Amino acid sequence: MGEFNVHRVRFFNYVPSGIRCVAYNNQSNRLAVSRTDGTVEIYNLSANYFQEKFFPGHESRATEALCWAKGQRLFSAGLNGEIIEYDLQALTIKYAVDAFGGPIWSMAASPSGSQLLVGCEDGSVKLFQITPDKIQFERNFDRQKSRILSLSWHPAGTHVAAGSIDYISVFDSKSGSAIGKMLVDRQYMGVSKRKCIIWGVAFLSDGTVISVDSAGKVQIWDSATGTLMKNHLVSNADVQSIAVSQEDSFVVGTAEGTVFHFQLVSVTSSSSEKQWVRTKPFQHHTHGVRAVAHSPTALISGGTDTHLVIRPLMEKVEVKNYDAALRKITFPHRRLVSCAKKKQLLLFQFAHHLELWRLGSTVATGKNGDTLPLSKNADHLLHLKTKGPENIICSCISPCGGWIACSTASRFFLYRLNYEHDNISLQRVSKMPVFLRSALQILFSEDSTKLFVASNQGSLRVIRLQEGGFTHPRAFQPQSGTVQSMCLLAVSPDGNWLAASGSSAGVHVYNVKQLKLHCTVPAYNFPVTALAIAPNTNNLVIAHSDQQVFEYSIPDKQYTEWSRTVQKQGFHHLWLQRDTPITHISFHPKRPMHILLHDTYMFCLIDKSLPLPNDKTLLYNPLPPTNESDVIRRRTAHAFKISKKYKPLLFVDLLDEKTLVAVERPLDDIVAQLPPPIKKKKFGT
């Protein structure tokens, strides 16, 4: 297969933000996750846990609560006092409504999904009616004396439990009057703490209220009498979140990173009397667990350590296959790195800035495994900070290295770069057209003369770039009736074809010259994770979240022979069992038969001329074949050349036929930048 010089890059100092809230939607089997920087991500648990949508963060919009209501509508509320609804089709914020109660700490949708309740800093609980296109303030509940940190509806919708500081209130949801108050003990292991914050409450249909608090207690109350039924001390630190499923199972997360599973279990085998029992502890987090969710078959947790952990409950899973394995999602399922191959430049996208680096070089050669001495080290050329509080949605560097484009939710930036020896001059292209206010995806054509921009409402535009500016902003004809936003773009190296894919609508191929739809790739059940068009052949390679890879010939408007063979034979079972989606596809410039693709834990060079591996062959062999004759070697060779040497991988590309660039982000480096976890004593009396 050949030797490559690999530029092993570890200077992409990317740190994902911590997880603040998670909300599970049983109807669509989707999970909404909000992070401390305000980003909201949507994971499709049915599509191999793929992160199919995301809403960029905003500095002033720290989300404190996230919930699904009225079926598939997603709301968030935060410390800026606003309730926000997200448009899941157009991937924008639909509207923001100020609740006028100061920072919002909690939010809960009524069981019917038609009402929304928020708990505010000033101690007010506000009820909003959800109308088809907005929310409408309806009523204030009885004002409490301090902030409302948690809310939970009775499953029948008749009562509401609200966790405040040192006590839990029970409201009648019809009248809004407080009908009960349960005082929580401040004492903690005999020591009186200053305050006891009720981080979470859950109301069950039999009137039981479960509370979790800052003293490390999980308490079970009878809301009718206001009495404490049972007290579980689970942690020395705060218990920060609770989620209930099906009334017989709930999960809590602690600041020490432990997740406890509680189940309603019969006291003895014969009696019908049941008791909440702490059944399973899980420690998958190094830092505090800020949010938990409970799907019918899994416990989901996220916290400061930025991992989203999905732990299936083995007794609930019917088939014990790979899907039942623990999932840990750390990196976004989209590309944060772009590369100018000719100039050997890498552009890194951070939340609020971009970094441009030039790769180093070497003159030495070596054999497999050698580290070559550098004749020139990598240079940090540029640190480009965006103005404003919004996070960057997408960014791109042109293949020639002369242009950089990036976009936030309300502004689009285009820069012209000039290289004079070692100096770089940067010039912002001003006077962007009005419609170019934000983009979901940006892509330069191979010859860097065109810029393709996918923005909200499914619009797709092409801009011709010239020295010092741009001309001809032209739009592709939109699909009739679609408002699906395109998230992935790929352009053919000859510049004739543009492929675009939305989060679920399949892949459309456009003719760039005529600005017309050329064809649509047959729909597939799983979302697209990466797209690319091969040089010369114009074959479109599509990777899906279920780890299937298709090759579609654009000129012939049909799947290629190779793709059909692959589908007929099926992928190797280990290939299909990978956890992370393929996020980038590229091609060997000289060998048209080679496809390079990568996920977080491996990259793979597919040689289409070799036979496909079947389930009996070894898919990945980390050791070089030694003392085997050429015949055996040739016989055992198969199309998938996999390397797991570099991980976790954020980006891999071929710079030229002998050079690869691999951008790694070691987890240790991320951990080193996180705040220190709560120290737990291991020894001592």
Partner 1 sequence: MADLEEGFALTAVPLGSGPDGPLGVEQSDKTDQFLVTDSGRTVILYKVSDQKPLGSWSVKQGQIITCPAVCNFQTGEYIIVHDNKVLRIWNNEDVNLDKVFKATLSAEVYRIHSIQGTEPLVLFKEGAVRGLEALLAEPQQKIETVISDEEVIKWTKFFMVFRHPVLIFITEKHGNYFVYVQKFNSRILSKYTLLLGQEEKCVIQSFSTSVGRKFISLMSLSSDGCVYETLIPIHPSEPEKNQRLVQSQLLKSVVSGSARNGVALAILDQDHIAVLGAPLPASKECLSVWNTKFQTLQTSKELPQGTSGQLWYYGENLFMLHGKFLTVVPFKCEVSSLAGALGKLKHSQDPGIHATPHFVNWETSQGCGLGSQNSEQSKRILRRRKVEVSVQPEVPASTQLLATIQKDSEKHIEVELRKFLATKRTPDFHTIIGDVIIGLLGRCKAEPSFYPRNCLMQLVQTHVLSYSLCPGLMEFALEKTDVQILQLCLQQFPDIPESVTCACLKVFLSIGDDTLQDTDINMESVSDYMDPVQDGEMEGQTAFLQNGFSPEEDNCDSCAQKLKEKPQATADESTSCPVTTKRAALLNAVLHSAYSETFLLPHLKDIPAQHSTLFLQYLYFLYLKCSENATMTLPGTHPPTLSQIMDWICLLLDANFTVVVMIPEAKRLLLSLYKFVKSQISICSELNKIEVSFRELQKLNQEKNNRELYSIEVLELF
- The answer to whether 278 and 262 have CB atoms below 8 angstroms apart is yes
Q: Which of 564, 606, 610 is nearest to 588 (CA)?
A: 606
Q: Is there binding between residue 362 and partner 1 (CB under 8 A)?
A: yes
The span of 19-27, 107-115, 274-282, 555-563 binding partner 1 (CB under 8 A) equals 274-282
Tokens (6 digits) for 420: 């004079």
Nearer Cβ to partner 1 (481/684): 684
d(CA 99, CA 83): 7
Q: How far is the CB of 460 from partner 1 (least distance, A)?
A: 36
d(CA 148, CA 220): 19
Tokens (6 digits) for 665: 């982000």
- The answer to whether 209 and 161 have CB atoms below 8 angstroms apart is yes
Query: According to CB under 8 A, which one of 3, 138, 556, 561 is a site residue for partner 1?
Result: 3
Nearer Cβ to partner 1 (5/28): 5
Q: Is there binding between residue 237 and partner 1 (CB under 8 A)?
A: no
Q: How far is the CB of 257 from partner 1 (least distance, A)?
A: 21
d(CA 460, CA 476): 6
Query: According to CB under 8 A, which one of 231, 371, 410, 565 is a site residue for partner 1?
Result: 371
Tokens (6 digits) for 169: 């209130």
Nearer Cβ to partner 1 (1/233): 1
Q: Which residue has the tokens 């903690």?
A: 188
The span of 81-89, 184-192, 354-362, 523-531 binding partner 1 (CB under 8 A) equals 354-362
d(CA 251, CA 234): 12
Binding-site string for partner 1 from residue 484 to residue 513, where x marks contact by CB under 8 A and - marks none: ------------------------------
Nearer Cβ to partner 1 (474/573): 573
Bridge partners of residue 303, in order along the sequence: 289
Q: How many CB atoms lie within 10 A of CB 528?
A: 27
Q: How far is the CB of 26 from partner 1 (least distance, A)?
A: 20
- By CB under 8 A, how many residues form the interface with partner 1? 54
Bridge partners of residue 551, in order along the sequence: 541
Q: Is there binding between residue 372 and partner 1 (CB under 8 A)?
A: yes
Q: Is there binding between residue 634 and partner 1 (CB under 8 A)?
A: no
Binding-site string for partner 1 from residue 296 to residue 335, where x marks contact by CB under 8 A and - marks none: ------------------xx---xxxx-x-----------
- The answer to whether 454 and 489 have CB atoms below 8 angstroms apart is yes
Q: Is there binding between residue 366 and partner 1 (CB under 8 A)?
A: yes
Q: Is there binding between residue 629 and partner 1 (CB under 8 A)?
A: no
- The answer to whether 72 and 28 have CB atoms below 8 angstroms apart is yes
DSSP 240-308: EEEEEETTTEEEEEETTSEEEEEEEEESSSS---EEEEEEEEEE--SS-EEEEEEETTEEEEEETT--E
Nearer Cβ to partner 1 (553/636): 636
Query: According to CB under 8 A, which one of 100, 625, 632, 675 is a site residue for partner 1?
Result: 625
Cα radius of gyration rounded to whole Å, the chain:
27
Q: Is there binding between residue 666 and partner 1 (CB under 8 A)?
A: yes
Q: Which of 546, 551, 543, 554 is nearest to 582 (CA)?
A: 543
Q: Is there binding between residue 365 and partner 1 (CB under 8 A)?
A: yes
Site for partner 1 in 173-192 (CB under 8 A): none
Q: Is there binding between residue 140 and partner 1 (CB under 8 A)?
A: no
Binding-site string for partner 1 from residue 241 to residue 260, where x marks contact by CB under 8 A and - marks none: -------x------------
Nearer Cβ to partner 1 (156/364): 364
Q: Is there binding between residue 269 and partner 1 (CB under 8 A)?
A: yes
Q: Is there binding between residue 272 and partner 1 (CB under 8 A)?
A: no
Q: Is there binding between residue 360 and partner 1 (CB under 8 A)?
A: yes
Give the Å distances, CA to CA, from 126 to 273, 308, 489.
Answer: 37, 31, 43
Nearer Cβ to partner 1 (183/372): 372
Nearer Cβ to partner 1 (433/625): 625
Q: Is there binding between residue 263 and partner 1 (CB under 8 A)?
A: yes
Q: Is there binding between residue 660 and partner 1 (CB under 8 A)?
A: yes
Q: Is there binding between residue 685 and partner 1 (CB under 8 A)?
A: yes
Four-residue CA torsion sign, 387, 393, 397, 402: negative
Nearer Cβ to partner 1 (7/147): 7
d(CA 597, CA 54): 23
SS3 416: strand
Q: How far is the CB of 627 from partner 1 (least distance, A)?
A: 14
Tokens (6 digits) for 206: 């039999």
d(CA 108, CA 117): 5
Site for partner 1 in 577-606 (CB under 8 A): 605
Query: According to CB under 8 A, which one of 378, 593, 619, 667 is a site residue for partner 1?
Result: 378
Strand ranges in 494-538 using DSSP code E only, listed in sequence order = 497-502, 507-511, 516-520, 528-533
Q: How far is the CB of 310 from partner 1 (least distance, A)?
A: 16
Tokens (6 digits) for 304: 């400061």
Q: How far is the CB of 602 from partner 1 (least distance, A)?
A: 12
Query: According to CB under 8 A, which one of 131, 279, 514, 536 is a site residue for partner 1?
Result: 279
Residue 576: enclosing H or E segment and its boundaries? helix 573-576
Q: Is there binding between residue 10 and partner 1 (CB under 8 A)?
A: yes
Q: Is there binding between residue 267 and partner 1 (CB under 8 A)?
A: no
DSSP 450-479: EEEEE-GGG-EEEEEEETTEEEEEEEPPPP
d(CA 77, CA 95): 12
Q: How far is the CB of 16 from partner 1 (least distance, A)?
A: 19
User: Cβ contacts of residue 331 below 8 Å, gap of 6+?
Assistant: 16, 580, 600, 648, 650, 665
Q: How far is the CB of 355 from partner 1 (least distance, A)?
A: 13
Q: How many CB atoms lie within 10 A of CB 270?
A: 7
Nearer Cβ to partner 1 (367/385): 367
Binding site for partner 1 (CB under 8 A): 1-11, 248, 263, 265-266, 268-270, 277, 279-280, 314-315, 319-322, 324, 360-362, 365-372, 374, 377-378, 605, 621, 624-625, 633, 637, 641, 643, 645, 660, 666, 685
